[in-house]
Structure 1
Amino acid sequence: MSSAGDGTVGKALDVLDLVAAQEKPIRFAELQRMSVLPKATLYRLAQTLVNQGMLVHNPEGGTYSLGVRLVRLAHAAWRQASLAPIARRHLDSLSVDTGLTVHLAQMDYGHVLYVDKRNALESAAMFSDAGKIAPAYCTGVGKAMLAFLDADELDQILGMQSFHRFTPTTLASEAVLRQSLERTRTRGFATDREEHEAGVICVAMPILSDEGRVLGAASLSGSTLRTDLKSLEAHIPRLRQCVEAIAEEATHWAFPVEGNETGGRLG
């Protein structure tokens, strides 16, 4: 959510976030129930977003949905502001070599944003399609990134976590998560033991710049019906090769990072 100083732009982005979160057209009355904004303000912002092509209003059903202008912006952001374009060939190679599903993710305001997903021939059904957002505290890529943040940034992001228990194995408290992150730092990779989705496990490693800054994370995932963690961990050396190759290429790739409006060269 936007902060108090973000003004009209921040409020408008909050409205877009609410519509996007529904994954289906939403009526104004539903939007009003979810929003903290006064009815008149919410209606004015919704109309402005429609006028700008960011939302589409269906007068017959009285619903709002995301506009096609956002699709164009999303494609531009994928090319300019994510690791996905430079990582794709490395992810494809890793998926072919291991026969597993590979995910690429970056941190987005305390959550995990999946920016690419490369499928092996037999892919398990998973939540984490590219473009989806998931909690950082109970996903392999999330824990891989959290473990290598500096102390202040880690404290800030942990304060954003809900610690909802998705499955019996979810690490549902900050204290338990911090213990897990310490193990991740020591061995260099994180695991997901069905912590976000029952039946889905993974191993994940961070993608780090030369200075140790977290750029993102990659993971190898599989269904418990087809594999186990010991088998996944056998692929850690190949996963390490992949993330190191992505990190090396990222040092020559300029894209904006959170908190830096002008962008900057990585590495």
Structure 2
Amino acid sequence: MERAEKPPTQTVDRALTVLGFFSATAPELSSAEIGARLGLHQTTAYRLLTTMEQSGYVERDPRTGLYRLGLKLVELAGLKLNQMDLCRHAQPELNALRDALSLNANLAVLDQGDVCHLAYAVRADVPHTYTLLGRKSVAHCTALGKAMLAFRPRTQVHDTIHTFGWRPYTEHSIQDFATLDLALDEVAARGYALDL
């Protein structure tokens, strides 16, 4: 007889939810903010954060009292990246591409409507924007994402956007399918995408 799926343990679920609250636009949060977002009293949120801090998943700035992601996550992210065959096999190719084209090269995968940056090779003499490994960007708002989307079936691209939304970065971000399809057609014809 198969065991029924059990709901996640509430405390574990809350801790994982807390980790998801942090972002590039909200790198630090107070226990009051976290408690409010979880629907918990501030004291309960503080106890949860204290446990997470003791385990290294969050850290508290002693000057401001705000919480941010802890180094344990860097350790785990490094383990994950090192375990990925894709990263290990791609790095020599990224280096060769960088050297052959005299340009920076990036590796990313599509994940739930976003591109997730996994590896890169940069030239010391070529200006580049700093890319955080593991950083996610909305796929249709970036050149890297458009380059990947241009060669996927349009129904799959449209379904992904229906599921995860447009999530524009600026007023110039694409927010309709006609414009997106035209942009992806241009990328496919040209063979590369541009961030403008």
Q: TM-score, normalised by structure 1?
A: 0.58
Identity of aligned residues (%): 26
Residues 109-155 of structure 1 deviation map (CA, whole Å, 9 limit, x = unaligned): 22111112211232324253433221101212211222334556423
Runs of 5+ consecutive residues of structure 1 not aligned to the other structure: 195-267
Equivalent residue for 2:89? 86
One of 130, 138, 154 as aligned partner of 2:157: 154
User: Residues 1-267 of structure 1 correspond to what in structure 2 (within 5 A)?
Assistant: 8=10, 9-22=12-25, 24-32=27-35, 35=37, 37-40=38-41, 42-58=45-61, 61-81=64-84, 83-126=86-129, 128-150=131-153, 153-159=156-162, 160-164=164-168, 166=170, 168=172, 170-185=173-188, 187=189, 189-194=191-196
| In 2: Cα distance, 1:56 partner to 1:193 partner | 35
**Residues 109-118 or 70-79, more deviating:** 109-118
| In 2: Cα distance, 1:121 partner to 1:60 partner | 36
| In 1: Cα distance, 2:29 partner to 2:108 partner | 28
Across the aligned residues of Structure 1 and Structure 2, the Cα RMSD in angstroms comes to: 3.0
After TM superposition, give the deviation of residue 53 of structure 1 in Å. Answer: 2.2
Q: 1:131 to 1:64 in 2, by over 3 A?
A: same
The DSSP-based 3-state class of the residue aligned with 1:21 is coil
- Bigger relative contact order (CA 8 A; separation at least 6): 1
Q: 1:82 to 1:112 in 2, by over 3 A?
A: farther
Q: Pick the structure with more helix per residue.
A: 2
After TM superposition, give the deviation of residue 104 of structure 1 in Å. Answer: 1.0
Runs of 5+ consecutive residues of structure 2 not aligned to the other structure: 1-6
| In 1: Cα distance, 2:131 partner to 2:17 partner | 23
After TM superposition, give the deviation of residue 100 of structure 1 in Å. Answer: 0.9
After TM superposition, give the deviation of residue 21 of structure 1 in Å. Answer: 3.4
The DSSP-based 3-state class of the residue aligned with 1:191 is coil
1:17 partner amino acid: G
**Residues 73-82 or 15-24, more deviating:** 15-24
| In 1: Cα distance, 2:24 partner to 2:129 partner | 18
**Residues 117-126 or 5-14, more deviating:** 5-14
Q: TM-score, normalised by structure 2?
A: 0.76
Q: Pick the structure with more strand per residue.
A: 1
